[in-house]
Amino acid sequence: MLKILVCAEFSAHVLVPLLENLFAEQGVSVSLQVTEFSDPELLPSLHLSEAPDYLCLLPTVQHLKLRQLKSDGSNFVETEAQRWSGAGELFCQRYPTTRILLANFAFTGEPIDEHAQAINLCWNEWSRSNSTAQIVRLHQLSLMKGVELWSDPRLWYAARLPCTLDQLGAFAFEIVKTMLSRLFPLKVVVVDFDNTLWGGEIGDLDPTQINLGGTPDGEAFVDFQFYLKELIAQGIILVGCTRNPRQVAELPFKHNRQMVLALSDFAHIEAGPDNKATALEKIRDLVNVGLDSMLFLDDSSFERALVQNLLPAVSTPELPADPALRVAFLRQLIVTEAPLSSTGRERNELVRQNIARQTERQNYPTESEFLCSLQMKASIRPLLPADRPRLVELLERTNQYNMSGLRLVPKDSQVLGLTLEDRFGHHGLVAVALTHNENDGLMIDNFVMSCRVASRGVEESFFNHLKLLARQEGLAKMSMVYVPTEKNIHCLDILRRNHFVKESTAWICDAASPLAPHWVSYE
């Protein structure tokens, strides 16, 4: 049950049934509490019986106008931006597990927009530096709808509604979409080729004759490819999926100058006669992400229906038949967040490297011979301020290998990180442990590891180092906090493989028993 506290400057109770329905459609049950007020300074003093998972702040441009009339003009933008973001931060100091959603100001077509937009920009900046905050993009939504469709001043004066009844559904959808983008982040886009990346079928046409550029539909296909490039820059992993043989599927990339995407833009291309559901399962295993982190784009309603039926966890939107409508459709559907770290931006390339490693695996008779051949070198060290963006990314985005689910670093925790490289390249910072000393043991408040390096001996090396640190401090045991979720079942294997034993609420292991694999050298 997701607990959401909505604090709004309008009659937000009308959003409750809409939000409940939208969350239920996604299989998420929620408990909503709505308060209406214009004074975010009061937020930190709200007395709640338990911390909400989300604090959803919904200011209105109508109230902003009133405050501008009363303002002396000095620092209006900074003061107004800080009023909401600062109050959210104070609230989170009191309830450290709560995440913040802040809706930016809608477009009105009035002079206030100049200030509203400046405040929105401040909030964008703030959300980039505050890992627990996300912006609900009402400004973009209202612009897309247009002022006449979006607002009806009569409803504001009569019922304190910031938009028309018809648009309340879109408003609620924007909130849900933003929240789910963090809870179930999109990681992989799997895209079909024929009639999705270009018009026509490459099996029947010369690669220079496919519909790409030069015609109305052809221009739309070009823009679609630009959009996929944009997603890659946002840290999305791009995978191609086609029933054509690989050498045929690659022809446009080699011989058509209108192609925007290059073969190197794909982390992997799954080519062959398999049906798309089977292909998607192969991609899942190869890329090592959950099906619910995947989006499947295919022009064929047959292929989409097949995937929707066999793999309902994969997001399979009804891509518009008209290629000109597809980018706008996807922009409304997908919320991506700019990656915080360089590792995040290079995710597509890192996955490419990883798939090359897996292909190499076939050349070795045993797993351990293959792992030895990788020449892995790990370095374990306390994190530096420069590592913070990557730390935040690991804590926020990792679900499968996240022991306690803790997304923040407790004040008294030490943070150790592991960076890894091998003969294929650098993995960057791939695992972190948050620890503190407690009585006679080293307590691990959370251990988080990127799924890209799972089953390589990384966790054993890390635990071995922690055991060494524990022994140096005269501590006999190591304890781990493990909070089971739907997704972190692999953590249980890690605990068992590393001889942790459950004792009441914690998992304990002896600090004296080293268990490091010989194929990872570390310092």
Partner 1 sequence: MSETERLFRAIREELQLPDLVLTLATTANDVNGWDSMRHLQIILRLEREFGMKFATRDILGARNVGELYQLIQAAKRP
Residues in the site for partner 1, rule: CB under 8 A?
14, 153-155, 157-159, 161, 164-166
Q: At its nearest, how many Å lie between partner 1 and the CB of residue 166? A: 8
Q: Which is nearer to partner 1, 157 or 226 (CB)?
A: 157
Alpha-carbon gap, residue 346 to 351, rounded angstroms: 9
Would you state the structure tokens that stand for residue 220, as one six-digit string? 């739309």
Euclidean distance between CA atoms 130 and 127, whole angstroms: 5
Report the nearest approach of partner 1 to the CB of residue 102 (Å): 25
Q: Are 500 and 515 in contact (CB under 8 A)?
A: no
Are the CB atoms for 249 and 255 separated by under 8 Å? no
Strands 414-422 and 376-382: antiparallel
Question: 491 with 402: CB under 8 angstroms?
Answer: yes
Residue closer to partner 1, measured from CB, 78 or 166? 166
**Closer Cβ to partner 1, 163 or 448, answer by number:** 163
Residue 56 or 161: which CB sits closer to partner 1? Answer: 161
The Cα–Cα gap between 352 and 346 comes to 10
Residue 62 beta carbon to partner 1: minimum distance, rounded to whole angstroms: 14
| C-alpha span between 22 and 15 (Å, rounded) | 11
Q: Three-state SS for 161?
A: coil
Cα–Cα distance, 198 to 71 (Å, whole number): 54
User: Closer to partner 1 at the Cβ: 156 or 364?
Assistant: 156
- To the nearest 5 percent, what fractions of the chain are helix, strand and coil? 45, 20, 35
Give least dist CB 61 to partner 1, A: 18
What's the rounded Cα separation, in Å, for the pair 482 and 414?
A: 18
How many helices (H) and strands (E) the chain has is answered by: 20, 17
Closest to partner 1 by CB, 173 vs 329, is 173
Minimum distance between the CB of residue 63 and partner 1, rounded to whole angstroms? Answer: 18
Nearer to partner 1, 6 or 458 (CB): 6
Minimum separation from the CB atom of position 380 to partner 1 (A): 57
* Rounded least distance, CB 165 to partner 1, Å: 6
